[in-house]
A and B are shown apart, each in its own frame.
Chain A
Amino acid sequence: MNIVVCVKQVPDTEALIKVKADGSGIDEGGIKWVMNPYDEFGVEEALKLKEKNGGDVTIVSVGPARALETIRTALAMGAEKGIHINDPALEGADAYTTASALAAAIKEIPHDIVFCGMRAIDDDAGQVGSILAELLGIPQVTVVTKLEVADGKATAVKAIEGAQLVIETSLPCVITAAKGLNEPRYASLPGIMKAKKKPVDVKDAAALGISVAAKAKIVKMMPPPERAPGKIVGGEEAAEKAAQLVKLLREEAKVI
């Protein structure tokens, strides 16, 4: 079974994010980079499938030179090989362009199942997996919390509001992973040592034959407004405080 996992390198959830003064993006100084947590679920699921059914796992990532660390981490967890799509023109690429790059790379290799995280925790767009499936022309099941693969079919459980859908699809397909799918393993020390020797192909946009013209552009990035300090409602009696509160809610907060 040929399994592909798309991974993205993102700032650590604990990282303190500062927007650059000119609003063109975030200040990357001092940031610790990690694998997008939802992608980790994808890697783990791929490794479990491989351990059960045989085959191999290929990691694909779009990103600058540092993204190689994230590919190596997935290789240290147990994947076989990597494809690193590294092109300055793809820096800050929109979801469509990223998905095009991934699709171009994945088309060239056998793929029975493709995993993505349901979304990346940096820009939270949640689009790449779906666009990728469209570009590959294969079915997709998104936000998957449970997966069975047998007899050329995948049966996935997808959480929706207040219920669960059980969806069956033929292979190949794209699965986007949600929290609850599994508990990702830790890279072992022997795994880390082996990862260094595993092959990683580096490709640029030209090699993939894709257009890098963005469909969406970030005009300006700004931090959310600072939250105003709370207000203590004055007054002696409860009734007086309540009247004061209602007044504030109506006139200042304008919520009633």
Chain B
Amino acid sequence: MSNLLVNTRDQKFLIYEQIGIEKLFAFDRFADYSQDVVDMVLSEAEKMAVEVIAPTLEEGDKEGAQFKDGKAYAPSCYQEPFKKYCEAGWLCASEEPEVGGQNLPVMLRTAVGELFAAANMSFTMYPGLTHGAANLVKVHGTEEQKNKYMYKMFAGEWGGTMCLTEPGAGSDVGALRTSAKRLPDGRFSITGTKCFISSGDHDLTENIVHPVLARIEGDPPGTKGISIFVVPKIRVNDDGSLGEPNDVVTGNIEHKMGIKGSATATLNFGENGNCIGELLGGEREGMKIMFQMMNEARLDVGLQGQAVASAAFEHAVAYSKERIQSKSALAGKDPNAEALPIINHPPVRRMLMWMKAYLEGIRALNYFTGFSIDVSHASSSEEERNKYGGYVEIMTPICKAFSSDRGVEICSKAMDVYGGYGFCQEYPVEQYMRDCKITQIYEGTNQIQALDLIGRKLGQNGGMNIMSLFEEISATISRVKERENLRSYAAKLEEAYNSVAELPMKFIEFFKSGKPAATIQNAEPFLAVMGDLLCGWLLLQGADIALEKLDAIYKEAGADTVEKQKALAENNTEAAFYEGKIASAKFFASEILPTVRTRCEIVKAGEIIPVEIAEVSFAY
């Protein structure tokens, strides 16, 4: 029976059968883990998601975050769940035991994070940002800063944020105007305004610690001159107790389309010249330091997009089995034909198949990236650490942009399955679609992600990162080609792979021939074909495994004809699951992958019509 949030069987398939978490158990960092522990972690997280967090979804949306008398409030129904979530240790699960964590593998954190975000994405913003900010202090803070801020943040007693964006500096962080003036005691006086600050102000915790990007007076303009400061909402005394307010004033909170339960604040630092910040890390290292949090946050946002899509999909499938409408189109004019549940109608089925295939594809993408982070941290082999670290670099913009782009589309199709009812607030898909939309925009718009992919990640490490990822894909193609039942699908993956693999050279060519616009212009289509290629790869890799398991089930049950096999799947949930995995891969290879080649041809043509068109010609 579905929990209507996440297909936990697919989670376990990725964790145990496809990606193989047991490879991580061999590393010292994860020595305390075993399959029974992982099972229990997943089932407790599911319980928390279903019983504690999911009930806040609708209420939190209706009440929304509030702003009264200069203070922001989270929806009141978040209070108890936030405490339970922190007490159960989820906020800092992946950290070391010394700081309150349990060394939870990031792949597993991805799986539990999916459950929580599917239950209520807005809710997860508060612990998510707190974790990221605390992590900055852990990696870059002094012992004093760690003692003062980090432990309380990891415990969920104090919140955290990331303060980058300003009214005049969004995607272009280098244009920021917040300034830091040296004080005689080595600390800094911070002045400036930050906007769109998620969890910027709320009442879930008694204090909030803001990592703030600012420029020390006299430092050079642009991103090179940016430093990062720890700025608490309320000052912290040396003994750890709370002192005076720190002149961080909440201007307002935004009224948004979705994630209404998440308080998105405008914060004014030092309006009265009395806001004190401590430098985090070295001077002018702000961007480098903040990127650590941004990279983590980008993966979280990709996961949010995928998780909300998962909830929308699970709801759509359940609804399509209940909602009765229209007799079968194949029944012709038979007056006695009965109206059927809409899942029987080919157009609905097609939407569900599309959603299922993409959802499983992006889920695999996110879990594989989580696994890569684990290997890059914990492997004893330097070569392996570097290789997987390279995957994480390449995958980060793709996970963020591709998961959120497809996530929003999946939500949209889920609404289509519900028809007119889906557009109404009585049904949850309407909220899923509103909540999901922001994942394409915040934490670096998806256009920024595409630029990051081609501008920074493609050529990184002399192009070795992408090359070794391509080798993995190649290896899967060779292996799956050996399997008769999947050979033709592997050929489609190979064709897509060959087309995409030509593009990096083409981009260099554009640059050399004085057509950089053709590269920049094609960043988004490139990220999209990369996303399809990676999803196609992981789905086929999964189908290869599923096929083997399914054959074993058939053999054991003596199901040697198609009829017997179909009948078996009706009563055997395992057989049904594996058949579903194979169908996802086949559908994706048949319907999506063949488009990749043409789309690559379009990129290679290097048209720059949108760049050439005159601005005045865009609108009349």
* Choice from B3, B84, B104, B574 contacting A186 with Cβ under 8 Å: B84
Q: Quick check: is A166 within 8 A (CB to CB) of the other chain?
A: no
- Whether A189 lies near B37 (C-beta < 8 A) is no
In the complex the two chains form, what is the Cα distance from A155 to B34 in whole Å? Answer: 43
* B-contact 0/1 string along A183-200, CB 8 Å cutoff: 000111110110110000
In the complex the two chains form, what is the Cα distance from A137 to B323 in whole Å? Answer: 57
Residues of B within 8 A of A27 (CB): 571
Residues of B within 8 A of A204 (CB): none
What is the chain A residue whose CB lies nearest that of B93?
A189
Q: Quick check: is B41 within 8 A (CB to CB) of the other chain?
A: yes
Q: Quick check: is B48 within 8 A (CB to CB) of the other chain?
A: yes
Beta-carbon contacts under 8 Å, A217-242 to B: none
- Whether A188 lies near B39 (C-beta < 8 A) is no
Query: Looking at B3, B40, B87, which has the most chain A CB atoms within 10 Å of its CB?
Result: B40
Query: Looking at A18, A187, A189, which has the most chain B CB atoms within 10 Å of its CB?
Result: A189
Residues of A within 8 A of B89 (CB): 188-190
- Whether A30 lies near B573 (C-beta < 8 A) is yes
- Whether B572 lies near A189 (C-beta < 8 A) is no
Q: Quick check: is B36 within 8 A (CB to CB) of the other chain?
A: yes
* A-contact 0/1 string along B263-298, CB 8 Å cutoff: 000000000000000000000000000000000000
- Whether B40 lies near A186 (C-beta < 8 A) is no
Q: Quick check: is A8 within 8 A (CB to CB) of the other chain?
A: no
Q: Quick check: is A112 within 8 A (CB to CB) of the other chain?
A: no
* B-contact 0/1 string along A46-79, CB 8 Å cutoff: 0000000000000000000000010011001000
What is the chain A residue whose CB lies nearest that of B34?
A196
Residues of B within 8 A of A30 (CB): 572-574
Q: Quick check: is B126 within 8 A (CB to CB) of the other chain?
A: no
Q: Quick check: is B102 within 8 A (CB to CB) of the other chain?
A: yes
Residues of A within 8 A of B34 (CB): 196
- Whether B572 lies near A14 (C-beta < 8 A) is no
Q: Quick check: is A125 within 8 A (CB to CB) of the other chain?
A: no
- Whether B44 lies near A192 (C-beta < 8 A) is yes
Q: Quick check: is B526 within 8 A (CB to CB) of the other chain?
A: no
Given A15-B1, A30-B574, A188-B88, does the pair A73, B40 have CB atoms closer than 8 Å?
A: yes
* Choice from A12, A16, A29 contacting B572 with Cβ under 8 Å: A29
* Choice from B1, B39, B87 contacting A69 with Cβ under 8 Å: B39
- Whether A69 lies near B36 (C-beta < 8 A) is yes
Residues of B within 8 A of A193 (CB): 32, 37, 102
Given A29-B573, A72-B40, A196-B37, does the pair A189, B90 have CB atoms closer than 8 Å?
A: yes
Given A14-B1, A69-B36, A72-B36, does the pair A189, B574 have CB atoms closer than 8 Å?
A: no
Given A12-B1, A186-B84, A187-B44, does the pair A192, B573 have CB atoms closer than 8 Å?
A: no
Residues of B within 8 A of A73 (CB): 40, 44
Interface residues on B, range: 20 to 34
What is the chain B residue whose CB lies nearest that of A75?
B40
Residues of B within 8 A of A14 (CB): 1, 3
Residues of B within 8 A of A72 (CB): 36, 40
- Whether B102 lies near A190 (C-beta < 8 A) is yes
Residues of B within 8 A of A192 (CB): 37, 40-41, 44, 102
Q: Quick check: is B517 within 8 A (CB to CB) of the other chain?
A: no
What is the chain B residue whose CB lies nearest that of A190?
B89
Beta-carbon contacts under 8 Å, B22-59 to A: 32, 34, 36-37, 39-41, 44, 47-48, 52
- Whether B1 lies near A189 (C-beta < 8 A) is no
Residues of B within 8 A of A29 (CB): 571-574
- Whether A186 lies near B47 (C-beta < 8 A) is yes
Residues of B within 8 A of A196 (CB): 32, 34, 36-37
Query: Looking at A12, A29, A192, which has the most chain B CB atoms within 10 Å of its CB?
Result: A192
- Whether B40 lies near A188 (C-beta < 8 A) is no
- Whether B88 lies near A189 (C-beta < 8 A) is yes
- Whether A187 lies near B36 (C-beta < 8 A) is no
Residues of A within 8 A of B1 (CB): 12, 14-16, 32
- Whether A195 lies near B574 (C-beta < 8 A) is no
* B-contact 0/1 string along A91-120, CB 8 Å cutoff: 000000000000000000000000000000
What is the chain B residue whose CB lies nearest that of A192?
B40
In the complex the two chains form, what is the Cα distance from A192 to B93 in whole Å? Answer: 12
In the complex the two chains form, what is the Cα distance from A45 to B40 in whole Å? Answer: 22
Beta-carbon contacts under 8 Å, A158-190 to B: 186-190
In the complex the two chains form, what is the Cα distance from A159 to B503 in whole Å? Answer: 73
In the complex the two chains form, what is the Cα distance from A190 to B32 in whole Å? Answer: 12
In the complex the two chains form, what is the Cα distance from A73 to B34 in whole Å? Answer: 15
* Choice from A16, A18, A76 contacting B44 with Cβ under 8 Å: A76
In the complex the two chains form, what is the Cα distance from A187 to B34 in whole Å? Answer: 17
Residues of A within 8 A of B84 (CB): 186
Beta-carbon contacts under 8 Å, A17-41 to B: 18, 27, 29-30, 32
- Whether A189 lies near B41 (C-beta < 8 A) is yes
Residues of B within 8 A of A195 (CB): 40
* Choice from B3, B36, B104 contacting A189 with Cβ under 8 Å: B104
Query: Looking at A18, A69, A72, A187, which has the most chain B CB atoms within 10 Å of its CB?
Result: A187
Given A73-B40, A76-B40, A195-B40, does the pair A186, B88 have CB atoms closer than 8 Å?
A: yes
Residues of A within 8 A of B571 (CB): 18, 27, 29
Residues of B within 8 A of A187 (CB): 40, 44, 88
In the complex the two chains form, what is the Cα distance from A12 to B88 in whole Å? Answer: 22
In the complex the two chains form, what is the Cα distance from A29 to B568 in whole Å? Answer: 12
Q: Which 6 A-B pairs have the closest CB atoms?
A: A30-B573, A189-B89, A14-B1, A188-B88, A188-B89, A187-B44
What would be 24 A-B contacts, judged by CB atoms less than 8 Å apart? A16-B1, A18-B571, A27-B571, A29-B574, A32-B1, A69-B36, A69-B39, A72-B36, A76-B40, A76-B44, A186-B48, A186-B52, A186-B84, A186-B88, A187-B44, A188-B88, A188-B89, A189-B44, A189-B89, A189-B93, A189-B102, A189-B104, A193-B102, A196-B34
User: What 13 additional pairs, Cβ within 8 angstroms, besides A186-B44, A196-B34?
Assistant: A14-B3, A18-B571, A29-B573, A29-B574, A30-B572, A186-B84, A189-B44, A189-B90, A189-B93, A189-B102, A193-B37, A193-B102, A196-B37
List residues of B whose CB falls within 8 A of some A CB.
1, 3, 32, 34, 36-37, 39-41, 44, 47-48, 52, 84, 87-90, 93, 102, 104, 571-574
